[in-house]
Each structure stands twice: as C-alpha cells, then as structure tokens.
Amino acid sequence: MQDFLTGLAFFLIIEGLAYALAPRFLVEMARLLPTIPERHLRAFGLAAMALGVGLVWLLRG
C-alpha cells in the first residue's frame, strides 16, 4: 500500500508541476485533443502504460 501511495504522490507532483510551469501549453493541448483520432490516443496511452510497467519492472527487478 505504501508503494501505491508513493506512486500516487509522485503522479500528483508531476501533474502539479505541469499546471504550474506550463498552463498555456495544457490549455492548447486540451483544445487539440478532440481533433486527434481515438485510436491514436488509445495507442499512445497503451504505449505510455507499457513504458511505465517496464520501468517499474527494471527498477524493482
């Protein structure tokens, strides 16, 4: 449970940094997202998830 909460805390830190350091970029991305095909968004999400799992596996292995 401690690892899960640590991961959640890091996620919140990174999200907060993005909003604090680049709010205009995030607004532009929010405008752009509806124009990107769903299959591309899904593929990017799956690739990011696989990369995250791979990194955790390497670091914890």
φ/ψ of residue 37, rounded to 5: -60, 145
- pLDDT, residue 9, reads 96
Helix or strand or coil: residue 34?
helix
Q: Is the pTM of this model over 0.95?
A: no
Contact status, residue 18 vs residue 26, Cβ threshold 8 Å: yes
| 7-61 pLDDT per residue, tens | 999 999 999 999 999 999 999 999 999 999 999 999 999 999 999 999 989 998 8
